[in-house]
Amino acid sequence: MLREFHCIQDCSDCCINRQYYPSVDYGKIGVLLLPEEKKEMENQAESYKLKVSIYPRVGIGMNKKSDGPRQVIAYQLMGSNINGDYCPLLDIRSNNRSPHGGFNCLIYNERPLSCRAYPVIKENNTHAKLDCNCKFSCQYSNQVNKNLLESEFSALTRIKNNFEWFEDQTIWRYATHVGEKRFIKFLLPRGWYLQK
Ligand code: SF4
Ligand code: SF4
């Protein structure tokens, strides 16, 4: 029988830990932002007097003049730690906690779609598939009952709809050059790299 998803008590892992993607040389990624979310995120950070770094993440097409993409289709909100971890909008200073005991998101009601979708990465008729880095997924199962995950699915669908139309285009990824000290020598210089 499929389990019901719930956040693990006191966990904030998905707002803290950032992954190297698509491989270590590209550095750690930040929180995915759609282009229309970038300005909103900058405004939100400013209203909390937070300094944030938002890098491009994925681009498409060829811009011969700049040797980069013609269009940026995704950005990323970088972590505030030097190693790339800790979303800057995570409230780690106050004593406020979320209902399951994790740190609070300062902009919970306005958080990006990628945060609203997480940890769901796929769905089918019977179950939802979770990201393997989610603590629930690590401890119990990455296949869960679809019940109570409507808002996650809705956010995931909106993200997917945004990316579907560029499937046959030239794709660029942005290397962040951010990561743990021990990996620094493997990291590509920050900038765009052609994928296909
Ligand atoms: S979604 Fe997963 S990683 Fe994030 S707080 Fe919940 S259990 Fe932890
Ligand atoms: S914006 Fe909020 S929900 Fe998203 S990673 Fe940052 S703290 Fe977590």
What is the domain partition of the chain in residue ranges? 13-194
Ligand 2 within 6 A of CB of 90: yes
What is the pLDDT, as a whole number, of residue 38?
98
Cis peptide leading into residue 112 (ω within 30°) = no
Q: Is 102 exposed, middle or buried (0-12, 13-18, 19+ CB in 10 A)?
A: buried
Q: Which of 42-46, 70-74, 160-164, 179-183 is predicted with the least confidence, judged by mean pLDDT? A: 160-164
Average pLDDT over residues 169-185: 96
What is the 111 CA–ligand 2 centroid distance (Å)? 6
Q: When comparing pLDDT for 67 and 129, which is higher? A: 129
3-state SS class at 152: helix
- pTM: predicted TM-score of the whole model, two decimal places: 0.95
pLDDT of 99-154, one tens digit each? 999 999 999 999 999 999 999 999 888 899 999 999 999 999 999 999 889 999 99
Ligand 1 within 6 A of CB of 119: yes
For residue 109, give every residue at least 6 positions away whose Cβ sits within 8 Å of its Cβ, in sequence order, or none: none
Q: When comparing pLDDT for 179 and 162, which is higher? A: 179
Residue from 11, 15, 118 whose mutation best tests the ligand 1 pocket (most atoms within 8 A of CB) = 11
Average pLDDT over residues 40-55: 97
